[in-house]
Amino acid sequence: MKNQKVFPGIILIGFGVYFYLQQSNMEVFKEFYTWPTLLMIVGLAFLGQGYWAKEYEAILPGVILVGFGLHFHVVNKLAIWPDHIGTFILIIALGFLLRYQKTGNGLFQGILFLLLAVLLLFYDKVISWFGLLENKVNIAWQLWPILLIIIGIYMIFIKKK
């Protein structure tokens, strides 16, 4: 990190406010005295480092940590919020796409994770769209992790720039 002031500054401010509110036992913020809040503080520090210090690679971990923290805060409070692995993959996709917006790299990963998240979150609807092809789609659904492994091996060992 080039500009070392932003990240630790936000961490210190965030943790200071967190622990002050916790010690003062303010009932209004009682449900925020949990570890997801700490995840969000660290994520906000990464986002601050990414956007304010123009170190755009910090955007991805920032979005992931804020997104995961937000997820754990609202998953049991909002009925429309999905409690599904696809939610985590969608948050990661958002991180890649926001980083791509500033750096110009990560678009492939962002789109790949976005497609995977949509497939996982809306699996029942996707299957109903295929109708008569359900048996063939079911076989493909069982084999897609192997396809991911093959693509990963290709990208690591075979593809050379």
Is there a domain that residue 17 lies in?
yes
Please tell me the predicted confidence (pLDDT) of residue 151.
83
Please state the pTM of the whole predicted model: 0.78
Contacts of residue 21, defined as CB under 8 A and 6 or more positions apart, other chains included, come to 29, 32, 33
Per-residue model confidence as pLDDT tens digits over 110-140 = 999 999 898 888 877 766 666 645 556 566 6
Is there a domain that residue 42 lies in?
yes
Highest-scoring range by mean pLDDT, 19-23, 32-36, 39-43? 39-43
Is there a domain that residue 54 lies in?
yes
Is there a domain that residue 21 lies in?
yes
Is there a domain that residue 127 lies in?
no
Please tell me the predicted confidence (pLDDT) of residue 92.
94
Percent of the residues in the chain that have a pLDDT greater than 90, as a whole number? 37
Structure tokens at 91: 């948050």
Domain enclosing residue 99, as ranges: 5-122
Instruction: Tell which residue, 67, 59, 61, 122, has the closest CA to residue 91.
Output: 67
Beta strands in 18-107 (DSSP E): none
Q: How many domains does the chain have?
A: 1
Query: Mean pLDDT throughout 48-54?
Result: 91
pLDDT bin (cut points 50, 70, 90) of residue 62 is very high
Query: Mean pLDDT throughout 135-159?
Result: 76
Is there a domain that residue 146 lies in?
no
Q: Which value, to the nearest 10 degrees, does the dihedral of the CA atoms of residues 32, 45, 23, 31 take?
A: 0
Is there a domain that residue 154 lies in?
no
Contacts of residue 117, defined as CB under 8 A and 6 or more positions apart, other chains included, come to 86, 87, 89, 90, 93
Least confidently predicted of 94-98, 125-129, 140-144: 125-129
Is there a domain that residue 150 lies in?
no
pLDDT bin (cut points 50, 70, 90) of residue 8 is confident
